Structure 1
């Protein structure tokens, strides 16, 4: 079962690229969270998506949102990926894919881990879901548009 707009986002705790643990509930206390699941560090589409989030990061911060990427690679892999591409946001290691399964992120052709972005408001409610394996940079424009709408509505 996949998480849809209007659903409560499942809480989780995962290690980030420096090895420290991050809990969704704690992030939501600070504002809106843009949670994006991506297939793998340092692949062409994932790099393009991550760099797109990087290039728009200040716009997300200005709108009261934090960007968080999740894939199944280790914290060490994420640390190298973030350093190589100067990523200013958190990458979480979902080794084994437990959180990916909790969110119901589909696989592409049953093989590749899916690429899905969730915009989650401060109350933990999913306000937008965008699923596209091939349109990596559109995740950023979709999410930023929703975050700005939430900010305008006072929900960010």
Structure 2
């Protein structure tokens, strides 16, 4: 009887742990949490530098050097010209360390930075850290005012670059002159 109770409690705990997000998910209209992350280009990017100046897109992926993440990053590289028509800073991001993301970006010849969140603090603050300890494949569209405009939770890896450009258009993000 005691064994059945313990097993039942363990099963219930595992269900709760695998279905709850690691942190409350943010939604459109919420302020983006402050961040300070190092990119694969060696530069540090902060929420402060964009607020009031430029819209931001951050496309989170689970893990560098995996199939879906490779397709997503390549798609964004291939559609870079369409994305850069807008007044937007855009990035991919993961909880991988900076060195791994530098190597990944170099292997794909990316023309945009991958942000690294190895302590997972920003992913947790956004609510996109999965119970597996990696980020969910979600893309955040952030307005110049620092508010989340849209969160894409249904990313299609092979068309993500074109999808980002289309979403920027539909959100009314200003185009560059």
TM-score (norm 2): 0.76
Q: Larger C-alpha radius of gyration, 1 or 2?
A: 2
Q: Hey, what's the Cα distance between the residues in 2 that align with 1:22 and 1:127?
A: 20
TM-score (norm 1): 0.86
Matched, 1:6 2:17: no
Quick check: 2:82–2:162 contact (8 Å CA) kept in 1? Answer: no
Quick check: 2:40–2:113 contact (8 Å CA) kept in 1? Answer: yes
Counterpart of 1:62 in 2: which secondary structure? coil
Counterparts in 2 of 1:88 and 1:27: CA distance versus 1, 3 Å: farther
Q: C-alpha displacement at 1:75, in angstroms?
A: 1.3
Give the structure with the larger helix fraction.
Answer: 2
Q: Hey, what's the Cα distance between the residues in 2 that align with 1:144 and 1:128?
A: 13
Q: C-alpha displacement at 1:147, in angstroms?
A: 1.0
Q: In the alignment, what sits opposite 2:161?
A: 140
Quick check: 1:72–1:96 contact (8 Å CA) kept in 2? Answer: yes
Q: C-alpha displacement at 1:149, in angstroms?
A: 2.7
Candidates 111, 122, 126, aligned match of 2:148 = 126
Q: Hey, what's the Cα distance between the residues in 1 that align with 2:52 and 2:73?
A: 24
Residue segments in structure 1 that go unaligned for 5+ positions in a row: none
Quick check: 1:130–1:139 contact (8 Å CA) kept in 2? Answer: no
Q: How does 1:77-156 map to 2 (within 5 A)?
A: 77-107=100-130, 110-111=131-132, 113-132=135-154, 135-151=156-172, 154=174
RMSD over aligned Cα atoms: 2.2
Q: Hey, what's the Cα distance between the residues in 2 that align with 1:61 and 1:27?
A: 16
Q: C-alpha displacement at 1:29, in angstroms?
A: 4.7
Counterpart of 1:128 in 2: which secondary structure? strand
Q: Hey, what's the Cα distance between the residues in 2 that align with 1:75 and 1:97?
A: 12
Q: Hey, what's the Cα distance between the residues in 1 that align with 2:42 and 2:86?
A: 27
Residue segments in structure 2 that go unaligned for 5+ positions in a row: 1-23
